[in-house]
Chain A
């Protein structure tokens, strides 16, 4: 067993446990903290996949900015903890979990069934190369310039929308 496999097992376990803990903890703040832990585990997995830039952005943007926003709002609203999730609509919720398990089983089966890695013949060097800032930046500003512009308008609209929804003065 080499280091890579050990790292993968540890990070995957952290990701699995933290995601399950996130949806089962009754207190929203604890859920948010577990989600942040999950994001860190994902960032480690991205490093294993040679995606250095995305790993850094994951920590800075997702864990750093978006989740801080979530935590900030949670603290601001001071929401109580939920009751036990199975208290109300028990049958419906068990049904929901059953559906999700079914979806997972199906997708997992499909993934093994179609064995997607057979078609791939990539080299480590190629993979490392594709994850660099240079590669992603070049793609972003040449081939994908139009979606990039659309992202600009998306952020403009979202900024204006968030401001109107929370700050606009009403008579």
Chain B
């Protein structure tokens, strides 16, 4: 029950999102050619929700009996989710009809998954974390296997489903132990008594199981085995959403859960765990990505490496590192979505065009696409003026502040390795003769999505300090 009626107004982004889903179902039901309508409706909905959340960035409040937080940090996350999803819908509109999943249901399920992410980012209670996570995950299982004629898609969705449900088992058991040792599921209450709970072995076990479950969701090293196959098997734009929105949402939950550890300034109990998985994911992701010729698979391995860089921030565990992670996530979302957007335009109907050889001589076929792809590759590699560089920079600086210099050094080393496979794409596009004969079909909405993400990357790269200060100002610990 809300304490007062103004709470309904404050929770407006969620109400808008929820009613948007219901309206989409109704449109889908009564309208014969619903797909283009639903596509543009989703874009409009996402942008509206994003701006409504951003409008309340400065007055954060915890609503509905300590269930959900609006404004502040969740507002920034909501902005990432909704704008990322809007970009993803734009690049999907044309692509999914070629891929064979041009259904109205596609848009409804994407909207539902974004609602799940928003719930996760604002959660103030283990109930909300669990429900948001499941809402997002179930939508992703469906999205991965949406084209049921394609055996790759079937297999991707089954792997994702079985391993995701396995991780859910760990998360539920962890929540059960945390509930048992603290007597409540409310996070503010748990954080208040954190200093006494952290010495309770059962609570630490529960939190550990919870973190293992979420390591699956962020695709960090020992729990990464589903990533390459799922990313390769699903439709390209859907992979874009899973690798950005899904990862961002999982990180938002990790930040919420660990904020008590960070705030108490206590010795970071989980530092060895995070340091370990981050080193392994960075090195594994970067080294294996070198050997990949399929660009989607290459981006999948590189996303494991990026998860590793972000986990450095969790290991460092101070306010700067959390702000760095959030900045990194925002930059990563748009550069990855842009890269997947270019991939989806080039792929069209034929998924053999994902091979790096079809990118040879792309500059002569389509200079715009080649330029944007180069921009995204530079950003992902972390070349200085791009947003990706500042993301890594802030996280590494924060790590050095927390006396984790060795971790930062491994991070830099791994970035140097990753430059190889990102720049390889650029070299193919600009300095190799085309060997594969194909024509790029016109795809205006897809190009629009690529341009929007390119502009956002440049903006993030030009004024990183301003954005970082905004992020720090809303971090309330």
Contact = CB atoms under 8 A, between A and B. Distances in A.
B180 A151 contact: no
A57 interface: no
A165 interface: yes
Interface stretch (A36-44, A59-67, A109-117): A109-117
A149 B11 CA distance: 13
B131 A165 contact: no
A165 B181 CA distance: 41
Interface stretch (B100-108, B370-378, B411-419, B429-437): B100-108
B142 A170 contact: no
B202 A168 contact: no
Nearest to B147: A170
Nearest to B148: A165
B134 interface: yes
Nearest to A120: B183
B100 A170 contact: yes
Nearest to B105: A164
A153 interface: yes
A144 to B, nearest CB: 6
Interface in A136-158: 142-147, 149-151, 153-154, 156-158
Contact of A110 (B18, B135, B201): B201
Given A111-B202, A147-B127, A147-B131, A160 B68 contact: no
B25 interface: yes
Contact of B138 (A107, A116, A147, A157): A157
Contacts of A162: 142
Contact of B135 (A153, A165, A170): A153
Contact of B64 (A110, A116, A145, A158): A145
A161 B141 CA distance: 9
Nearest to B18: A153
Interface of B: 1, 18, 21, 25, 64-65, 67-68, 100, 103, 105, 108-109, 112-113, 115-116, 119, 125, 127-128, 130-132, 134-135, 138-139, 141-142, 145-146, 148-149, 180-181, 200-202, 205
Q: 10 tightest A-B contacts by CB? A: A161-B142, A157-B112, A150-B131, A147-B127, A114-B201, A146-B67, A142-B1, A164-B105, A114-B202, A146-B64
10 contacts: A110-B201, A110-B202, A143-B67, A144-B67, A147-B128, A150-B119, A154-B134, A161-B109, A164-B109, A170-B148
